[in-house]
Amino acid sequence: MKYFVPLLSLSIALLPATGFAQNTPLRHHEQQRGSSKNGTVTGRVLLADGQPAEQVSVRLKGSERGTVTAADGSFALKVPAGWQAFVVSCLGCQAQEVAVEVQPGQAVALPPFTLARGEQQLQEVTVAGAKSLNQSTPSAGKMPIAPLDNPQATLTIERPVLEQQQALRLSDVLTNVAGVYVMGTTGGAQEEIASRGFAYTSANTFKNGVRFNNGIMPEVSSLERMEVLKGSAAILYGNVAAGGILNLVTKKPLFERGGSVGLRVGSYGFVKPQFDVYGAVGESRQVAFRLNGTWERADSYRAGVKSNRVYVNPSLLFRLSPKTELVIEGDYLRDNRTPDYGIGAIGYEIQESRSRFLNVADATNATNQTSATATLTTRLNSTWQVRAVGSFQRYDNELRSAARPTSIVGTTAGRRYGDWQRGLQRTQTAENYYLAQVDLTGMLRTGRIGHTVLVGADADQYNTNTLAFISQAYDSLNILNASRVLGQPKGRVTGFDAMRYNTRTLGNTRRAGFYAQDLIGLTDQVKVLAGMRWSYQETPSDVYTYPALALPATNAPTVAENRRYDNAFSPRLGLVYQPVKTTAIFASYSNSFTPNSGVDVRGNNLAPSLIDQYEVGIKNDLFKGALSANVTAYRIVNSNQAQSVLPTDPRFATAATASPQELAGQVTSKGIEVDIQSRPVNGISLIAGYSYNHTAYTRSNLYEDGSRLRYNPAHTANASLYYSFANVFANNNFLRGLSAGLTTYYVGDRLAGRNPRLLDPTTGKPWATNGTASADAFKLIALPNYFLFDASVGYAYERFSVRFKMANLLNELSYNVHDDNSINPIAPRTFATTLTYKL
């Protein structure tokens, strides 16, 4: 990323160490510590227009002791007591000194002064991944604490990395994150993400701290960064799955004028123009804007598959006062594409292919997603802040598609091997989502103990309206020769418009939560993070079922009502020990919950399943912060998973429902993750990682103990190396803009298909999911391991830049699979070129 920077004029404000910004990496113990021989100097650096100035040097004169300002311009530096001189400097400014008396065991603020402009003008600055792993505080954590003080694995991928790697989809970004992976691409319209054996549903995916429907692939071009909180986030967000959360942070308004326009072209007719403009509104210093967007169309390596997308992301920043800001953000995505359930399988055997397409020619998946979010942030004083968020999201989807390729003939008796009777499916979904949230964060002391406190509340509501049509037979074909239709059965449906209503489901989920969390600094080396959340959830739904033979215009449906009321407590407790300033050893326990939809033998709704999570790890900043290396081990136990009550259980005979359930199963996930990330050093930047996971049934009446859950790779590994030749060709204006990168990603040992079930001792047949006996002989499918290698070359000259990328250099073939039917091949070797002009 390039910025054209004029002479800088900065001022230092007489402010104590703040710690109120969401992304402030200011260490808690740096603010609180004190001793008989040392004191702390604090302050804040601002640009002339009032914006915080990051990475400004503050140094104790005559020593190597110093620091740089954080994202909000704040700094804190521990120094010996007595009169001390400090040098404040930045590129483009004339260094100046200030002297101050430091009292033992106390914090003192530097007096205000203004840095004068230097005589040397900086024409161009190249910024690429300025922070390492343990220097970025995710805003999704809601608290202004540094990663080294947080007893949880976190990771942030910044915008420069996305540009270097030419990330197109969220899966491209995830190749930089150990242990977060794509578990499936059912229908080809979304990327199903998971971590630590648990799927990231729409409850686990966020944009700017607000949940969004992940039924469609989000747009990556608008991202400023992607934040990952691994493990439990239930205390902050309620009923999220146990594996962690993703938070996509979009680009924000800036007062300096700038932007870019670009064009990306690639294999299979891919074309994507894009733009990004920002600046002050008129000559205002109180209102700024940003507007970015794209249009995209493409064919596919999958025969018959096409896509078309439009995306716009506008935002406004209002400086209502020196301490209060309001950000209003919009988001619009229209995504139309061919639904694609893959190549099919015969008898749990994948029939290898990359291009075979089994859907009908007029299949469509059309989605419109619109959202608006307002975020109000006000600083009550130098250490306390209130942040309020209000958001609305609208999601509309219509699917017209052949059903997933199931029940394909696996023998030659009567029909040919691979024959399949193809049916049609159709659904319409409309969803309105509302959110209100308020957080209070700040710092205080009780005696010698320091506290960083979060207190908050949130409430949200989902209104859903889902219309499903009756799936009906359409025609027959052989999947090994899908171009030839074999026949059309009697009574078949003639097309999507002739399909009849089946059910309409009206949902109105309402949730509320209250939470509090405290990072307690017991000593300089020992910290405790403790908190609790209480969540309440109502899940009413009305299901209207239409008579099968009635025309849509004359349907007289029957209505089935269902009401659920759940509540749960989610505690969190973590311990951090820092033997040295650059190393943190941590252990934590947290608890999350998952609502259940079944009923017990008495007909009562099942209580939520409570999931215990244990995590230990070590975080390290090496080579003066140039490299971060973290290792985390975890164990997640759902010891009260919902499972069927079997007919052999005496309670089954008197059960109030035909399919009673109980909270008696258990699933255990355990593993280890390694995350490595560097700041750019001499033009080199590195991201690497490794993960191991084993998620299995450890108690079940349907599956054998130790049976692995599907879709979760046992091993993943990633490495990305990027090099800028600016230092090598520092004196050559033509060649200094050259860069190159290599990314590799490994996915190994995954299972799909269906887990084999235990046998009914009386019939000798496997149990079905409803507790009855079944003749199905379910099997697992072992999916091929694969390595992805991507290479890129970039060149920038003045305001122009061009990047060339080759993805999947080895043309590896593997699959993302759902059950034994939706089998989607990964993309082959592809090429892409992006041309950009900086405004």
Q: Is the pLDDT of residue 4 over 60?
A: no
Euclidean distance between CA atoms 557 and 603, whole angstroms: 24
CA angle in degrees (0–180, nearest 5) for 44-111-321: 50
DSSP assignment letter at 341? -
Q: Is the pLDDT of residue 675 over 70?
A: yes
Phi-psi domain of 586 (left: phi exceeds 0; alpha: psi -120 through 50; beta: other): beta
Task: Provide CB contacts within 8 A for 833, sequence distance 6+.
Answer: 264, 265, 266, 802, 803, 804, 805
Torsion (CA) 41, 42, 48, 54 in degrees, nearest 10: 100
**Residue ranges matching CATH 2.40.170.20 in the chain:** 258-470+506-838
Task: Count H helices and E strands in the chain, helices first.
Answer: 4, 51
**Residue ranges matching CATH 2.60.40.1120 in the chain:** 2-126
Query: HEC string of 122-133?
Result: CCCEECCCCCCH
Euclidean distance between CA atoms 164 and 131, whole angstroms: 15
Q: Is the pLDDT of residue 538 over 70?
A: yes
Per-residue pLDDT of 760-799, as tens digits, reads 777 777 776 555 555 467 899 999 999 999 999 999 998 9
Quick check: 714 and 749 in contact, CB under 8 A? yes
Mean pLDDT of 345-371: 93
Mean pLDDT of 221-246: 93
| Burial class (CB within 10 angstroms; exposed 0-12, middle 13-18, buried 19+) of 598 | middle
Mean pLDDT of 508-528: 95
Mean pLDDT of 214-227: 94
Quick check: 450 and 32 in contact, CB under 8 A? yes
**Residue ranges matching CATH 2.170.130.10 in the chain:** 133-250
- Output the CATH code of domain 2-126: 2.60.40.1120
CA 349 to chain centre: 33
Q: How confident is the model at residue 47 (pLDDT cuts 50, 70, 90)?
A: low
Q: Is the pLDDT of residue 308 over 90?
A: yes
Strands (DSSP E) contained in 700-799 are 715-724, 738-748, 750-753, 780-783, 786-797
Quick check: 383 and 18 in contact, CB under 8 A? yes
Mean pLDDT of 71-95: 73
pLDDT at 14: 32
CATH topology (fold) of 258-470+506-838? Maltoporin; Chain A (2.40.170)
Mean pLDDT of 461-483: 90
Q: How confident is the model at residue 135 (pLDDT cuts 50, 70, 90)?
A: confident
Cα–Cα nearest to 328, from 337, 318, 320, 338: 318
Q: Give bridge partners of residue 80 from the DSSP assignment.
A: 38
Percent of the chain with pLDDT over 70: 88
Quick check: 365 and 441 in contact, CB under 8 A? no
Under DSSP, is residue 162 helix (H, G, I), strand (E, B) or coil?
helix
Q: Is the pLDDT of residue 91 over 80?
A: no
CA angle in degrees (0–180, nearest 5) for 577-579-580: 120
Euclidean distance between CA atoms 156 and 690, whole angstroms: 16
Euclidean distance between CA atoms 57 and 97, whole angstroms: 12
CATH of 133-250 among 2.60.40.10, 1.20.1600.10, 3.90.420.10, 2.170.130.10: 2.170.130.10
